[in-house]
Amino acid sequence: MTYPKNVKDFLSLIKYEDIKFIDVKLCDAFGQWHHLTYPAARFTTEYFSRGIPFDGSSMPWWRDIKESDMILIPDPTTAFVDPFFEEKTLSVICDAAHPGSKRGYVRDARVIARKALKVLKKTKVADMAYMGSEVEFFIFDKLTFINTPNQVGYEIDSTEGWWNTTKSKSEGRAGNEIPYWEGCYPVSPLDKTGQLRLEMAETLEKIGLTVEKAHHEGGTAGQSEIDFRYDNLLKSADNVMKYQYVLKNVGQLHQKHVSFMPKPMANECGSGMHCHFSLWKKGKNLFAGRGASGISRTALYAIGGILEHGRALTAFTNPSTNSYHRLIPGYHAPVYLTYSAKNRSAAIRIPSEDQPEARRIELRFPDPSANPYLAFTAILMAAIDGIKRKISPGRPFDRDTYRLTAEEKRRYTALPKSLSGALHALRDDSKFLQRGNVFSKDFLNLWIMEKEEEIETIQKIPHPKEFELYYYL
């Protein structure tokens, strides 16, 4: 299938593929897709030129009911034949805008990403930002939870789960479970999710993503990863949304639960969303150079900006209370804002690449609970600030950051240990995000307020572990 490059291609595709319905999708501030569906026969060029009316008050903290009228403007280049509708349906991602002026809505995450790319060009630092994401996830056979005044808890299960070694065959044991921490790259029968990953990868290819590899990840109980090719910042964020949509729906078809929670299981590695990032100008990779690991001074300044603003960034790259169960020592996730060429315990790694066009930096602290538009945009804004101010990242740290001495711990800045810490950092350090009004003060204040409410919700509920620790006191 040839994917559309413009409105004309989009309308031609409707006829060529005999499309019956158009499903328009929009992303809320928290990274969830919403959709409306229209008959394809009546989907004309006016839907692109005038926009599609919709109720903006129905989206989380978007518009008040007294000013709810908004429009959606479809981006024809995002279209794909949706594999999860029985009737042939073409899905397309939209931007939210004000009716009349068609000005992009400041609380729309996709509009925020577009504004950041415009700021990048205006600064003349670069004309394009590229992102590639490694999004990890778990495939569970069972996932239940309960939160009532008298009962709190959750239960997950997987035929791969090491805890199932205690069960008999009559109790449902499949055998060949994966030991804790030993889930990297096993073959079947240990890897029981391989065929499902292949179906996920095939479906991703059908909707336009280029899959580069798929494999089991380090955790027991179906932890997995499917990598797809990088793209410009906006398209890469679109692709993360498509990726999560496909994986959840393919899992549902097989009665599996696909979870992108950063830390769904105790005492196992969590799921990250490692972000590979580079800046380009006039077709040239600005991160390629002759410095250590083959990167440029521009790349070092970008690293400096990301490290300086790293604590504030986590409010968007790690935006859930669950995120900070992952960012702890010894679980393959960073805890200090350092960089290194090979050290995977560092917050930023410089992958080894022979080809100049492949030189990039890898941020290892983001996780898949993030809204990709907001996370990628915040990373870009921190890099721009580092380059404009020529912020030095200092010397690389090549030792295991989990084994820092007390003196070294005082020397290096730690990532926040909680969402509350991340919000405090964002409150104190947000000017770099407001360059060009990319993140408006209104948006930042609402984000902090909403996330503080999430924290308060968790604080009101006793943790099951507390009964073990304190019930008999």
Q: Per-residue pLDDT tens for 105-122?
A: 989 999 999 999 999 999
Domains of the chain, residue spans: 7-105, 128-470
Per-residue pLDDT for 149 more than 70?
A: yes
CATH code of 128-470, in short, is: 3.30.590.10
Active site residue 411: no
Distance between CA atoms of residues 180 and 219, nearest Å: 6
Catalytic residue, chosen from 55, 69, 155, 456, is: 55
- Distance CA(237)–CA(233), nearest Å, equals 6
Give the relative orientation of helices 419-428 and 310-317 as an angle to the nearest 10 degrees: 120
Phi, psi (degrees; rounded to nearest 5) at 147 = -140, 95
Confidence band, pLDDT 50/70/90 cuts, at residue 13: very high
Q: Encoding tokens for residue 396? A: 């690389």
Please indicate whether residue 326 is annotated as part of the active site: no
Confirm whether 7-105 and 128-470 share one CATH topology: no
Q: pLDDT per residue over 118-144, tens digit each? A: 999 999 999 999 999 999 999 999 999
Question: Is 344 part of the annotated catalytic residue set?
Answer: yes
Tell whether the model's pLDDT for residue 343 goes beyond 80: no
Rounded distance between C-alpha atoms, residue 146 and residue 418, angstroms: 23
Q: What is the model's pLDDT at position 412?
A: 87
Contacts of 317 (CB under 8 A, 6+ apart): 273, 275, 363, 365, 366, 367, 370, 375, 378, 379
Residue 2 neighbours by CB distance under 10 Å: 9
Q: Which of 364, 367, 385, 435 is catalytic?
A: 364
Over the chain, what is the mean pLDDT? 93
Beta bridge partners of 308: none
Residue 167: what pLDDT? 85
**Residue 136 a catalytic site member:** yes
**Does the annotation count 55 as an active-site position?**
yes
Q: How far is CA 77 from the centre of its chain?
A: 21
What distance in Å separates the CA atoms of residue 319 and residue 274, rounded to the nearest whole number?
15
For 212, phi and psi rounded to 5 degrees?
-105, -35
How many angstroms separate the Cα of 417 from the Cα of each of 309, 318, 321, 325, 462? 16, 11, 10, 8, 19
Is 453 assigned a catalytic role?
Answer: no
**Alpha carbon of 359 to those of 152, 290, 298, 303, 354: distances in Å?**
47, 11, 12, 13, 8
Q: Which residues pair with 47 in a beta bridge?
A: none
8 A C-beta contact, residue 28 and residue 60: yes
Q: How confident is the model over 192-220, as pLDDT tens digits?
A: 999 999 999 999 999 999 999 999 999 89
CATH H-level superfamily of 7-105: Glutamine synthetase, N-terminal domain (3.10.20.70)
468 in active site? no
Instruction: Write down the catalytic residue from 28, 95, 134, 141.
Output: 134
Active site residue 456: no
Tell me, what's the pLDDT at 408? Answer: 79
pLDDT digits (tens, 9 = 90+) for 397-451: 877 777 778 887 788 899 999 999 999 999 999 999 999 999 999 999 999 999 9
Tokens of 357: 């066009």
Report whether pLDDT(170) > 90: no
Mean pLDDT of 35-59: 92
Q: What is the structure's pLDDT at 1?
A: 63
- Which is more confidently placed, 106 or 284? 284
The answer to whether 401 and 346 have CB atoms below 8 angstroms apart is: yes
Q: Residue 209 and residue 207: Cα distance in Å, rounded?
A: 6
Contact between residue 71 and residue 64 where contact means Cβ atoms under 8 Å apart:
no
Question: Token digits for 294?
Answer: 């083959």
Q: By CB neighbour count within 10 A (0-12 exposed, 13-18 middle, 19+ buried), where does 20 fall?
A: middle
Catalytically annotated residue among 362, 367, 385, 435? 362
Q: How many Å apart are CA 160 and CA 316, to the nearest integer?
A: 32
d(CA 216, CA 226): 9
Is 225 considered catalytic here? Answer: yes
pTM score of the predicted model: 0.96
pLDDT at site 64:
66
Rama region for 112: left / alpha / beta (φ>0; ψ in -120 to 50; rest): alpha
